[in-house]
Chains A and B, each alone.
Chain A
Amino acid sequence: MKEPKRIIMLYSLLYSAFIATIFLIIPSSYVKEFLAHYLLSIILFSILSSQDGFIFLIIYIFGTAFINLVKAFSLGFDISLQILAIATHISTIANVAIAYAFIYSIKKIDMENSDLKAQIKNMLDYVGPTKLLTKQEYTERKTMILKAMHRRKEQAFEIFFSLKNKNDKTRDALFDKLSYYALKNFRNDYDLVGKLDEYCFAVLLQNTNEAGMNIALSRYFDIVQSDININKEDIDMKIAAIDYTVKAEEEHVFI
């Protein structure tokens, strides 16, 4: 539920439960006691942290229930008195619980907003918690990097890894491991690793020549092969050279 809608709903609930409790449910002799409980709870909820407030709420519910039980035993409540006591208790704890929800919803609204903003940014930039760039983010960053490279007349390599032809049973796990090692091995301030589709990811190695690319790739496969039984040839791999060193225009050649 959206936060403003939730606040409005909780406020309506808070107001209607309070009115119903005072005028319809509890006996008039209990109104003062109810108001004291209610106000004290609101004050405590305003002061306490969310966790402490919740623990107070639970202690309050249990404590008042036990007090009612002791009263019922010691005063020998008959069935009608028990029903009245139960109804009074339910309405009191319901009011206090709604007050808890309302106060902490307001308190949390700022915190949740900033959390949501951070989450949205994370989702836009990365594939879940993996830190692998999404296709969109990868493409955007690549475009920016290529523009800068063009200006500086540099050379780069884009390597595409595809597992479309691999064994179905291990493909997901293999993809996770290979992309994890790619992030660990390649990604620093310069390189990009992005997920292009379900079984394909790409690495952009910037400002490097073919020898540098081969060294990086061989280091990557050394790490991969320490953990996984796989050869370079087992992965469907394409390497594209991007060369701005010679001509003014972009040169994008698959090698």
Chain B
Amino acid sequence: MNLIFITIISVFWLVLLYYSFLTVSGLYYRTRHVEKIPSELTSYPDVDILIPAYNEGKVIGKTLEAVLKLEYPGNIHVYVLNDNSQDDTAEICNAFSKTFKNVHHVNVPPGYPKGKPRVLNYGIDISESEYIAFYDADNQPEPKSLKLLIEEAVANPKAAGAVGYVRTINENKNWLTRMISLEFIVFQLLMQCGRWFIFKTGSLTGTNMVIKRAFINAAGKYDECALAEDAELTIRITRNGWELPIVPDAITWEQEPENLKILIKQRTRWLQGNLYLLEKMLSSWQFFKGKALVHTLQQILVYLVFLVFLLISDFIFISGILGRSNISIQIPALMIWYVSYLIYTVQLFSALTVEKNISPANIFVGFILYFTYAQLFILLFFRSLFHYLRAKRKKAAISWDKTIRF
């Protein structure tokens, strides 16, 4: 029992050190990236922008307005890939495509499996530019974002594309959106900037990213069965030895769920997608080679180790507070918990500071996030595991739940 506990504590230490190192590396990259932005290109490649849309009437107009404001020196064509929407998405898209010559409203033929990857693959097939940009239908990219992404992708010969930052447009709506926003900026500081700085590995985020057509075709396009299709494609791109640089100054603003029910549905889908990916990774040694190992270990760390640690940290917090433990070795339980909490909270504040997003409300949320939002992960994990295993037992495809817009 003691040996198991010592092993767990040792891994816990390593993980704490790893996350501290990631934070510092992310901060270093983020604060210095401005100086490293590649200079302007002599000519800019053609870019096709793909926007998958299913019942996006509430948001698609603003998205198209923002996309049309992109300041890109080359040719761009915008393809709204309408996946048989039932609302007024088609009407809005038609109005735009009639007015703007580079906006194309495309009705995607019905097909199976349902969901974003199939729609995107259809968009990749019908478009023809050298680079493809992807934006979700609720996004409002900043005017310079596409130009910065392309400059980075072209400047790096190993780059399959480039990935920008996603910020929350409705952050101030309520406490939940504030927490989601914090989660996003921390993810981008650690998992994107930090990992890119240390390992030269970035992850596709599904929106505000560009990929060179030749690379996405060579990688085999999107896996249409994957719910976390971007994470899955990231691994294949990385396995081929290509890179996905992170461009923190290329920013898009995205709408996030405004109530818990919708968040739980969205995150259950994401987690099921990640469980699918985890299963795929654990079934082949190919995922443990080269830089793909970084993503595989990260996947294991987040979806297995993190869960165990979250449960353990809850346990040692309570046992530390009570001053008792049934384990015979002397462990400073409260101190361990304090250091974990400190690292978690300092990561949040670091991310808030570099994104110039410090406010009294965000500081308060930063302090309570561990006790509230982070604990939600336990519920989400077991909910997703239940749905995933049930779908596997029934040999049914995991359903694609559309995130409701506001």
Q: Name A's B-contacting residues (CB within 8 A).
A: 51, 54-55, 58-59, 61-62, 65-66, 68-69, 72-73, 76-79, 82-83, 85-86, 89, 129, 167, 169-170, 172-174, 176-177, 226-230
Can you identify 19 A-B contacts, CB atoms within 8 angstroms? A51-B31, A54-B27, A55-B24, A58-B24, A65-B338, A68-B335, A69-B336, A78-B323, A82-B332, A82-B334, A167-B95, A169-B92, A169-B96, A173-B69, A173-B99, A176-B65, A176-B68, A227-B100, A228-B99
Within the assembled complex, what's the spacing in Å between the Cα atoms of A230 and B61?
19
In the bound assembly, the distance between CA atoms of A77 and B23 in angstroms comes to 28
Are A82 and B95 in contact, with the CB atoms below 8 A?
no
**In the complex, which residues of chain A have a beta carbon less than 8 angstroms from the beta carbon of B332?**
69, 72-73, 76-77, 82
Chain A residues with Cβ below 8 Å from B99 are 167, 170, 173-174, 228-230
Distance A79 CA – B323 CA, assembled complex (angstroms): 6
Q: Which residues of A contact B102 (CB under 8 A)?
A: 227
List A contacts of B343 (CB < 8 A): 62, 65
Whether the pair B101, A229 counts as a contact (CB closer than 8 A) is yes
User: Are B346 and A86 within 8 A (Cβ)?
Assistant: no
Bound-state Cα–Cα, A51 to B330, Å: 40
Give complex CA distance A77, B338 in Å.
14
CA distance A62 to B343 in the complex (A): 7
Known pairs A227-B100, A227-B102; A54 contacts B335 (CB<8 A): no
In Å, the complex CA distance between A227 and B102 comes to 7
B: which residues have CB within 8 A of A? 13, 16-17, 20, 23-24, 27-28, 31-32, 61, 64-65, 68-69, 91-92, 95-96, 98-102, 143, 320, 323, 330-332, 334-336, 338-339, 342-343, 346, 350, 353-354
Complex CA distance for A176 and B61, rounded to whole angstroms: 14
**CB-nearest residue of chain B to A73:** B332
Q: Which residues of B contact A174 (CB under 8 A)?
A: 99
- The answer on a CB contact under 8 Å between B331 and A173 is no
Nearest-CB distance from A238 to chain B (Å)?
A: 22
A61 x B353 contact (CB < 8 A): no
Cα A73 to Cα B331 with chains together (Å):
6
B95's partner among A62, A68, A86, A170 (CB-CB below 8 A) is: A170
9 closest cross-chain pairs (CB), A and B: A72-B332, A51-B31, A79-B323, A72-B335, A169-B95, A62-B20, A173-B65, A76-B330, A82-B334
B131: shortest Cβ distance to chain A, in Å?
20
Selected contact of B28 from candidates A55, A72, A83, CB within 8 Å: A55
Q: Would A129 and B143 count as touching, CB distance under 8 A? A: yes
Interface of A is mostly: helix
Are A54 and B31 within 8 A (Cβ)?
Answer: yes
Given A51-B32, A228-B99, check contact A82 B330 (CB 8 Å): no
Cβ–Cβ < 8 Å partners of A79 in chain B: 320, 323, 334
* The residue from A65, A167, A227 contacting B339, defined by CB atoms under 8 A apart: A65
Neighbouring B residues of A170 by C-beta, 8 Å: 95-96, 99-100
A228→B31 contact, CB < 8 A? no
CB distance from A25 to the nearest CB of B (A): 15
In the bound complex, residues from chain A placing their C-beta under 8 Å from that of B92 are 169
Contact A176 B96 (CB under 8 A): no
Q: Complex: how many Å from CA A66 to CA B106?
A: 56
Q: Nearest A residue to B323 by beta-carbon distance?
A: A79
Contact status A66-B17, CB under 8 Å:
yes
B346 close to A61 (CB less than 8 A) = yes
Checking B27, B69, B101 against A58 with a beta-carbon cut-off of 8 angstroms, the contacting residue is B27
The complex places the Cα of A177 from the Cα of B23 at a distance, in Å, of 41
Chain A residues lying within 8 Å of B346, measured Cβ to Cβ, are 58, 61-62
List residues of chain A with CB within 8 A of the CB of B342: 61, 65
B335 adjacent to A58 (CB under 8 Å): no
B105 to chain A, nearest CB (A): 12
- Contact partner, A66, options B64, B95, B339, Cβ 8 Å: B339
Q: A69-B339, A82-B334, A167-B95 are in contact. Are A228 and B20 (CB under 8 A)?
A: no
**Do A55 and B27 touch (CB < 8 A)?**
yes
Q: Contacts of B69 on A, CB cut-off 8 Å?
A: 173, 176
Q: Which residues of A contact B143 (CB under 8 A)?
A: 129
Least CB separation from A230: chain B residue: B99
Partner of B100 from the list A62, A72, A73, A177 (CB cut-off 8 Å) is A177
The answer to whether A82 touches B32, judged by C-beta atoms less than 8 angstroms apart, is no
Q: Do residues B61 and A82 form an inter-chain contact, with CB atoms below 8 A?
A: no
Point out the residues of chain A lying under 8 angstroms from B24, CB to CB: 55, 58-59, 62
Q: Which residue of B lies closest to A77 (CB)?
A: B332
Provide the bound-state CA to CA distance between A51 and B24, in Å.
11
What are the residues of chain B within 8 A of A177 when measuring CB–CB? 68, 100
B57 to A: closest C-beta gap in Å: 10
B350 to chain A, nearest CB (A): 6
The complex places the Cα of A69 from the Cα of B101 at a distance, in Å, of 63
